[in-house]
Structure 1
Amino acid sequence: MGFTSNLFNLVGLVLLGHAVYSAHEHSSQNPLHLPSSPPSFSPLTTPTSTTSLPTDIVLETLFSVLLISTGIVLGSSSLRPIQWSKWAGQLEREERVKKSVKEIREGTGNPYRILEERPGFVDVRGKRKEFMEWVRKGDDLAAK
């Protein structure tokens, strides 16, 4: 859905730009209504416009935001399951667990792989197995 989402985004941005320009032009054409008496110059009182935007500009703004939101949703990737067990099971079924950090950053693979492998720690079970094999080989050599 790449073309459709890009088209929605483009049309929405054009309409939003036009709505912003129209609102600016509308506000610059209508002068501020200042009171007839001279204002007291305090930082808390500022002249404000008493006119509101026309309905067509408001509707155009809302429609353009709706188009842009729709385009973003259509262009996004599919959502993953929230529960870890479902996601891990899905990855194992697909047999696509990626091992590089680059692919993990792209959003594929097991993001906890680095924590599960513990690359900075010694594999105690593996070392114990190697030691037992070494002891057995030593026993075999001593028996001969």
Structure 2
Amino acid sequence: MAALATAVNILGMLFLAHAVYSAYEHSLLPSSSTPTAASYILPQALDPKVNLPLDITLETLFSVFLLCAGVVLSSPELKPIQWNVWAGRLERSKEAREIKEVGVGGGNPYAGLEERAGFLDIRAASRGFEEWRQQQDGGKIES
């Protein structure tokens, strides 16, 4: 699939280069320098000064279509939209379980959030405080 995408991109670039060169050569012709009729739809600043022949216009559009198709064909596979599906696939893959460097890899993509330095587990801290308070009060719980 990558070879097909590369071939389509190269073909699209060749067609686009030829269309640009043809448009440039056409603009140098003496017959193309005659003023064109003013457009009632476009403002004067956007009105083209040179009318390109239909074949150059179609070649340009075809080359842009080929380039768009080549870019789409060469793009990587899309990831699932749902995070749990993506994380499940990642945990099941062998490459994700391999630790390549410190802090990278290891299966669960969210494990780094729970194991980071400075992460405070409020429930464990409140249980510890409750145990400390009970020890201080001699086992009495006051309301």
Question: Structure 1 length normalisation: TM-score?
Answer: 0.60
Bigger RCO of structures 1 and 2 (CA < 8 A, at least 6 apart): 1
SS at match of 1:9: helix
Secondary structure of 1:6's match?
Answer: helix
Give 2:88's aligned amino acid.
G
| CA contact 2:91–2:108 (8 Å) conserved in 1 | no
Specify the code of the residue in structure 2 equivalent to 1:24. Answer: Y
1:116 deviates by: 3.9
Q: Return the offset for 1:64.
A: 0.6
Aligned residue runs from structure 1 range 69-88, under 5 A: 69-88=68-87
- Secondary structure of the residue aligned to 2:19 is helix
Which of residues 18, 31, 35 is equivalent to 1:33? Answer: 35
Matched, 1:17 2:17: yes
The separation in 1 between residues aligned to 2:102 and 2:34, in whole angstroms, is 58
Distance 1:102 1:2 in 2: 32
Q: Give the gaps of 5 or more residues in structure 1.
A: 35-43, 126-144
> For 1:82 and 1:70, how far apart are their aligned partners in 2?
23
Q: Do structure 1's residue 117 and structure 2's residue 115 form an aligned pair?
A: yes
Q: Is the 8 A contact 1:5 1:71 kept in 2?
A: yes
> Partners of 2:102 and 2:72 in 1: how far apart?
27
Counterpart of 2:35, as a letter, is H
Unaligned runs of 5+ in 2: 37-43, 125-143
Query: 1:13 and 1:103 mapped to 2: Cα distance?
Result: 39
Which residue type is aligned with residue 26 of structure 2?
H
Alpha-carbon shift at residue 52 of structure 1 (Å): 1.8
Q: TM-score, normalised by structure 2?
A: 0.60
Name the counterpart of 1:38.
none
Kindly indicate whether the alpha-carbon contact (under 8 Å) linking 2:87 and 2:109 is maintained by their aligned counterparts in 1.
no
Shift of 1:94: 2.6
**Percentage identity across aligned positions?**
47
Backbone CA RMSD of aligned residues: 3.7
Alpha-carbon displacement from aligned partner over 1:57-86 (angstroms, at most 9, x marks no partner): 111011111111111111111010011111
**Within 5 Å, which residues of 2 pair with 1:39-118?**
49=49, 51-97=50-96, 99=99, 100=101, 112=110, 114-118=112-116
Q: 1:119, CA displacement in angstroms?
A: 3.7
> Separation in 2 of the partners of 1:15 and 1:92?
45
Does the 8 Å CA contact 1:13/1:64 hold for their aligned counterparts? yes
